[in-house]
Amino acid sequence: MKKTALALAAAAALLASPSFGADKVKIGFVTTVTTPAGVIGRDMVDAVNLAMQDIGGKMGGLEVELIIEDDGFKPETGKQKTDKLVKQDDVHFVAGFIWSHVLLASRKSALDGGKFLISSNAGPSQIAGKLCHENFFSTSWQNDQTPMAMGEVLNQRGVKSLYVMAPNYAAGKNMVSGVERTFKGEILGKDMTKWGKDAQLDFSAELAKAKASGADGIFVFYPGKAGGAFIKQYQQAGLQGEIALYTVFTVDSIALPNLQKAGMSGVLGSLNTQFWGPDLDTPQNKQFVSGFKKAYGRYPSFYAAQSYDTIFLIKSAVEAVGGNMDDMDGMRAAMMKADFPSVRGPFRYGNNHFPIQNFYLRQVVEDADGVWTTTVVDTVLKDHQDVYAAECKM
Amino acid sequence: MDAGLVAAQLLNGLQLGVLLFLLASGLTLIFGIMDFVNLAHGSLYMVGAYFCATLTDVTGSFLLAVALALPATALVGAAVELLVVRRLYRRDHLDHVLATFGLILCFDTLVQMIWGPEGMAIRLPAWADGQQHLPGGLVFPTYRLLIIGAGLAVAAGLYVLVVRTRLGMRIRAGASNPAMAGALGIDIGLLFTLVFALGAVMAGLAGMMIAPITEASIGMGNEIIITAFVVVIVGGIGSIRGAFVAALLIGLIDTMGRSFLDMGLKLVMSVQAAETSAPALSAMLIYILMAAVLAFRPQGLFPPKAR
């Protein structure tokens, strides 16, 4: 696979005529490197570096320059860094973005500056709908889709009533509206907790309420380290067996190592939905997961998977125009085809440039080496498009 | 609203309260005795948590790790006092804030260099990891009950230390009038180092107790220290008794706000509006209390006598 990629790059290099346009592909990558959420940013930066290695540091015969910026988990900092990438570094692509509120604050700077904006994670409803833009692309999902898949799972499993918990910010609201859209039972209670650099991590009061509500299940969205903290307290409060746990973006390869170390075996067997899984059987995913584990000694998270795809999406665009970085129309047309080896397998882009893709049910298991991970057990939604695409006039 | 839930939330509020007291007692002593604003108090909370996590890994016992991490945190506290803080007593409060903010950045970066960005989990012993069945059909996590017990025990110990011992007498003398205490032959330099280390130990203990619930992570003290300052101001600067009452009050208000505010708001506004405004409003409650205290009783609820 690596050889093919190199051969392709070499072929493209021959075809390219680097005498015109830029002599370098410049990619700015905004993520969270500091604060406790820096553990997510590390996974993304590691994946991007791995992708750069796997493509030999070149796209369409051009050198690739990667500039990593830290948003500090703050919308205003994310915007400042995006401005810097657009005006000072004059990058061709602004990519990255874990957080919906950071992406929403930064989008105008990148798009008004005439750059391509690629979200490697955040998928706020606004950008999928009314604020959609021809130069925006996502390598992840729209926020509502994954919880919509979970709502379907809950219906299939006969869950009648639900307690809902999520952080109080753009993505948290999308996650809640997503599960509410498909779940047919009754929602007995809802808590939106404080989020950001000083996020609430002690959920004692909320868990006591969830228990008193008598719901069949609890649906939660707590990305990053908050996920691990939530699961621990769920188990310490003895809610296992009383109120079944269903999560999105909470139990992943970032939370699992610490949960395993803390002996929180209650998480084994719990269910979550996702567009991807480390054991998803595609050639690109095999190369990615084994390469990541070899380089960094741990499982990649979905954040890493999407970041790896980001580099390959950009590469497909640069190669399609033979390295002529001034050909924005050519690169846009190429990206709309989604003609690159994605870790999730083949997919296509909708009118709003969000992927139309499958969503899977995953279960937490112990792998052959005794490491806790997730495995895909079922396909919940096939070729699913987000609901906001209809609001996008494009 | 059933009585069981209210009782559970009272216990949750009490648990948050004793944790806040451990942090605020050190802060109020340092503030009251040395007239020193220590923003980096939260860093000692973090250092305590990381020491405890590492020592739990090494020794395999959480309790042993706590026993070893407490003196280690005291040493860090004493070192910070001797190397940095000592030079700042004569400066004004703005300099204290600047210097200790710098300390926070140093501590956060040091922790990232030593332990990495991913945080550390602490595995509780099996006997502490379950739940207790309390009278009235209430089921409550064992470990949270332990926090309440340990916190109240430390509060009692601190009371005895300050009110019944010679060291406590000196601390109180230092708090009332450091110049006079110095003139009477008390080694003020040594006393300040001791008080700073004592504050560090209690902040570290709070960090060690919360880490098995959340985890030891970078910057974990930076949020809770703001709440601890609110406790100090509401209780009265320099007053341990004030810190105790204010910590419990704020722990209860915060927990009760998170628990029942949305229910109350739904009675007077639409469900949608209640759901969005309740989290914002409950996060504000303790600051509203602080503003009220500052307006009507600026010296705090229990100001120390003879200042």
Ordered per-residue pLDDT tens for chain B, 307 residues:
578 889 999 999 999 999 999 999 999 989 888 889 999 999 999 999 999 999 999 999 999 999 999 999 999 999 999 999 999 988 999 999 999 999 999 999 999 899 988 889 899 998 998 899 988 788 899 999 999 999 999 999 999 998 899 998 888 888 778 788 888 888 888 999 999 999 999 999 999 999 999 989 888 998 899 999 999 999 998 888 999 999 999 999 999 998 898 888 888 888 888 877 888 888 899 999 999 999 999 999 988 765 4
Residue B201 lies in a domain: yes
In a domain, B62, yes or no: yes
Same domain, A161 and A220: yes
Pick among A202, A234, A267 to test the B interface (most B CBs inside 10 A): A202
pLDDT value for A360 = 97
Dump pLDDT digits (tens) for B108-139. 999 989 998 888 989 999 899 889 998 878 88
Please name the member of A38, A194, A208 whose beta carbon is closest to the beta carbon of B9. Answer: A208
pLDDT of residue A19: 40
Specify whether A156 is located in the same domain as A135. no
The Cα of B210 is separated from the nearest Cα of chain A by a number of Å equal to 9
* Residue B303 placed within a domain: no
Using CB atoms, pick whichever of B108, B118, B283 lies closest to residue A39.
B118
| C-alpha distance from A99 to closest chain B C-alpha (Å) | 18
Residues A170 and A132 in one domain: no
**Inter-chain contact B213–A257, Cβ cutoff 8 Å?**
no
Residue B82 lies in a domain: yes
Q: Looking at the 3D structure of chain A, how many domains does it have?
A: 2
Q: Do B144 and A258 touch (CB under 8 A)?
A: no
In chain A, which residues have their Cβ closer than 8 Å to the Cβ of B112?
34, 38
Q: What pLDDT is attached to residue A14?
A: 45
Does B280 reside within a domain? no
CB contact under 8 A, B213 and A198: no
Q: With contacts defined as CB-CB under 8 Å, which chain A residues touch B120?
A: 258
Structure confidence at residue A330 as a pLDDT band (50, 70, 90): very high
Chains A, B: CB contacts within 8 A come to 118
Contact check, Cβ <8 Å, A202/B210: yes
**Chain A residues with CB inside 8 Å of B123's CB?**
261-263
Q: Which of B87, B82, B109 is nearest to B98 (CA)?
A: B87
Q: Which of B130, B212, B258 sits opposite A206 (nearest CB)?
A: B258
Q: Is residue A193 domain-shared with residue A255, that is, in the same domain?
A: yes
Domain that holds residue B94: 12-131+141-221
3-class DSSP state of A116? strand
Whether A36 and B214 lie within 8 Å, measured CB to CB? no
Q: Are residues A109 and A31 in the same domain?
A: yes
CA distance B243 to B28: 7
Q: Is residue B255 part of a domain?
A: no
B109, B217, B220, B276: best to mutate for the A interface, most A CBs within 10 A: B217
The reply to whether A366 and A345 lie within a common domain is no
Q: What is the pLDDT of residues B5-36, one digit of tens each?
A: 899 999 999 999 999 999 999 999 898 888 89
Tell me the pLDDT tens digit for each residue of A124-160: 999 999 999 999 999 999 999 999 999 999 999 999 9
User: Does the beta-carbon distance from B259 to A209 stay under 8 Å?
Assistant: yes
| Closest of A286, A209, A213, A231 to residue A2, by C-alpha | A286
**Mean per-residue pLDDT, A260-279:** 92
Total domains, chain B: 1
Give a yes or no: residue B105 inside a domain: yes
| Residue A266 shares a structural domain with residue A289 | no
Residue B291, in any domain of the structure: no
Clarify whether residues A185 and A239 are in a common domain: yes
Cβ–Cβ of B212/A232 closer than 8 Å? Answer: yes
A21 by Cβ neighbours in 10 Å (0-12 / 13-18 / 19+) ranks as middle
Q: For position A35, which CATH number holds?
A: 3.40.50.2300
Considering the domain architecture, whether residues A292 and A189 belong to the same structural domain is answered as no
CB of A327 closer than 8 Å to CB of A319: no
- The domain of A166 spans 145-274+359-391
